[in-house]
Structure 1
Amino acid sequence: MSTSDTTTPPGITLKSPGPGLVPLGPVHTALLHGLDALLTGLAARLSAPEVVGPPLLSAEGLSRLDYFRNFPHLGVAAGRFAPDAFDGLAGGQPPGGLPLEPTGHLLPSATCYGLLLSLEGQDVGADGLRLSATGRCYRNETHYDGLRRLRGFHMREVLYLGTQDGASEHLGRGAEFIREVAAHLGLELTRAAADDPFYDKGGSRARLMMLDPVKHEFSAPDGTAVASVNRHRNFFGERLGIRAGSEESVYSSCVAFGVERWVHAMVLAHGTPERALDRLRRVGA
């Protein structure tokens, strides 16, 4: 693990520019990169190659995945200034009141969406496919709370597409990895069915989640969910026409890690960022 300098120059403080926008100093940054490197161990264990997803997602594509029916309040749209705003911007006019045009894209709210949309119409083969990626994700939230709840954060995911049994095995091995890494890092995590922030809590998807949870979260003692295992059934396979050999539509599942939340959990468990970083370096040695 890198032993690069983790000290901030005297008198320098990285200040937040607003709610949910938290800059990371050298120690927290070392924790973030070190934890992400450690979490890639699941990808290595499952032979999931590292890829980089697209930086923006098509609104049309997300619509076909029922994203706006379920999470219209979370989406962060990507806009651009209209041509008639250019003169004002160049003349120093504050941008807040200038017109924006839609681009037809959103910033990702989860890493797997971009990977799944990129596989539309393809055959991943009878043996299935695994991919791993870390993406910067963005969400509108009702409130923000340090590293626990941010406007923008890093999410590492290990995605599986293939058979129903393969999707279940993927989640089992992912859960085992989470427990193993948490023990090495001195973290106490509890597992429980997730309560996802559906826009319509009485809607069919939310009711189905209560009856048959497809997402389980692993949380720190203060309730911060740091990782999740997610069973998609064959929903994405059907909507995107993704096949696996003779399977008409793949089953998929993913294991997800909120990296900043792991940083938060480490500091919570070990008292200070410096002690947390020392524990991480001993694990990675």
Structure 2
Amino acid sequence: MTVRTYQLGAARPAAAQAMVEALQLDRDNVVRVEHDAATGSLHVELVRPESAERIDAVVLSMLRMHRRISPKVVREHRVSSVEVQDIDEELAASPHLLQLGAGLCGLAGPLLVLFRWFEARFRALAASFGAEEHHYPALVLAEILEEVGYFAHFPQHATFCCHLPDSLPVLESVAAEARQAKGSFAETLADRLCPPRHVLTPGVCLPCYRQQRDVVLGPGEVRTLTMQNHVFRYEGANVRPLTRAWDFSVRDIVFFGSYEQLHDLREQVVEACIALCRELELDVRVELANDPFFLDANRDKAIYQRMGEVKYELLFDLPHRGRPLAAASFNLHRDFYTKVYGTRRSDGQLAESACMGFGLERWVYGFLSQKGLDPRRWPDPVTRSFKGSAG
């Protein structure tokens, strides 16, 4: 057994956790990863000694990146009497959390009512900005992700979809094998599947940018869209109920316009979220953020995200998890998507886009971590929604 130990020093908990999660994705080289917060040490058990050089490079590169990142709180709502609860054991024992597999959870009873409550509030928030409602399939063409460079940044999250060929002999042979194996024969399918042309969407808003191809906004126009869907991001061993799932639900609000317009709109959305947390007496903060893990040459993009203040996140503190939970993100894309699809303003300049995203299961978990699982102790705005609801 080969174990490498790295001294992370004063690296923030979020940085240490990002390294742990990144290394856990590398199952070909890494057996186990542990971070000792008391000593600041990161212990990595390797599959083979020759992997050490590669793992050294990954850890040192990520450490350099995170040392260049400083925290910045842009808004917050603090509740003096909040007591963040470790609710994981209660959730695991609850009949209302339906654990269907790694990264796959369903909801019932009061947890589903709470989910629907947040769902309705964020849909109403989108409507308050005059957003046009769109609905997209869970499948997205792989070529769309290629167009926007998703595979170059986050290939680890992609869940590819494919099917058997339009060939009667192949279909007959598969059916025959299934009858003989009584349904357990998946390992024999790989060589007969068609190349994947579709992906389960890793981002609710992704289809909407292509829909704005060659669109020209009117003078002073802001185009506002909203959509909700299941989102699929493969997380390997990092899955945890409600907070890190393979299949989860997100409401997005997307704006197209000028930088000045979108900057102001983001401030308005952030303020609306803080107002919601004030109404529910939730202890949260909005912090300058970056995507926690980029592959190799893309890691400098995290620094760009910080310097340009293009990404904010709304965070719930979770001491029992060792890191906060991001339940919403407020992103200025600048012209990243509009340049790909030629979306312009009336003066001929490229338009810009912005996306405000709300992870519904994460809002449920953040709420429960502060209010507990007993609906009788929940704030009035939520308990009023139980009228006429079972459970």
TM range (shorter): 0.7 to 0.9
Q: Residue 115 in 1 paired to residue 208 in 2?
A: yes
**Counterpart position of 1:211:** 307
Q: Quick check: 1:170–1:254 contact (8 Å CA) kept in 2?
A: no
1:164-203 correspondence runs (5 A): 164-200=259-295, 203=298
Pair 284,193 (structure 1): closer, same or farther in 2 beyond 3 Å: farther
Cα distance, 1:211 vs structure 2: 3.0
Q: Quick check: 1:215–1:231 contact (8 Å CA) kept in 2?
A: yes
Give, in whole Å, the separation in 1 of the partners of 2:380 and 2:279. Answer: 13
Q: Quick check: 1:184–1:283 contact (8 Å CA) kept in 2?
A: no
Aligned with 1:21 (options 81, 86, 104): 104
Q: Quick check: 2:204–2:227 contact (8 Å CA) kept in 1?
A: yes
Equivalent residue of 1:52, what SS?
A: coil
Q: Residue 44 in 1 paired to residue 127 in 2?
A: yes
Aligned with 2:239 (options 144, 148, 168): 144
Q: Residue 280 in 1 paired to residue 375 in 2?
A: no
Give, in whole Å, the separation in 2 of the partners of 1:193 and 1:150. Answer: 23
Give, in whole Å, the separation in 1 of the partners of 2:140 and 2:308. Answer: 28
Which residue type is aligned with residue 242 of structure 1? T
Aligned with 2:118 (options 35, 47, 53): 35
Runs ≥4 residues deviating over 3 A = 11-15, 89-93, 275-279, 281-285
Aligned with 1:263 (options 358, 364, 367): 364
Q: Residue 94 in 1 paired to residue 184 in 2?
A: yes
Which residue type is aligned with residue 38 of structure 1? R
**Counterpart position of 2:333:** 232
Give, in whole Å, the separation in 2 of the partners of 1:233 and 1:200. Answer: 22
Q: Quick check: 1:191–1:219 contact (8 Å CA) kept in 2?
A: yes
Aligned with 1:162 (options 257, 273, 279): 257
Which residue type is aligned with residue 358 of structure 2? F
**Counterpart position of 2:224:** 130
Equivalent residue of 1:206, what SS?
A: helix
Equivalent residue of 2:155, what SS?
A: coil
When the two chains are superposed, the root-mean-square deviation of aligned CA atoms in Å is: 2.4
Cα distance, 1:15 vs structure 2: 4.3
CA displacement, residues 194-243 of structure 1 (integer Å, 9 cap, x when unaligned) = 23144325524233224333111001121111111001001111011112
1:245-256 correspondence runs (5 A): 245-256=346-357
Pair 56,245 (structure 1): closer, same or farther in 2 beyond 3 Å: farther
Give, in whole Å, the separation in 2 of the partners of 1:141 and 1:260. Answer: 16
Pair 26,48 (structure 1): closer, same or farther in 2 beyond 3 Å: same
Pair 196,224 (structure 1): closer, same or farther in 2 beyond 3 Å: same
Which residue type is aligned with residue 137 of structure 1? V
Equivalent residue of 1:23, what SS?
A: strand
Give, in whole Å, the separation in 2 of the partners of 1:233 and 1:189. Answer: 27
Q: Quick check: 2:96–2:109 contact (8 Å CA) kept in 1?
A: no
Q: Quick check: 1:71–1:197 contact (8 Å CA) kept in 2?
A: no
Q: Quick check: 1:159–1:253 contact (8 Å CA) kept in 2?
A: yes
| TM-score in terms of structure 1 length | 0.88
Gaps of 5+ in 1: 1-10
Cα distance, 1:256 vs structure 2: 0.8
Give, in whole Å, the separation in 1 of the partners of 2:146 and 2:374. Answer: 41
| TM-score in terms of structure 2 length | 0.65
Give, in whole Å, the separation in 1 of the partners of 2:131 and 2:204. Answer: 15
Paired positions, count: 275
Cα distance, 1:281 vs structure 2: 3.4
Give, in whole Å, the separation in 2 of the partners of 1:147 and 1:252. Answer: 29
Cα distance, 1:161 vs structure 2: 0.4
Cα distance, 1:245 vs structure 2: 2.2
Give, in whole Å, the separation in 2 of the partners of 1:214 and 1:12. Answer: 40
**Counterpart position of 2:27:** none
Which residue type is aligned with residue 315 of structure 2? S
Q: Quick check: 1:201–1:207 contact (8 Å CA) kept in 2?
A: no
Equivalent residue of 2:130, what SS?
A: coil
Which residue type is aligned with residue 249 of structure 2? H
**Greater Rg by CA:** 2
Equivalent residue of 1:16, what SS?
A: strand
Equivalent residue of 1:243, what SS?
A: coil
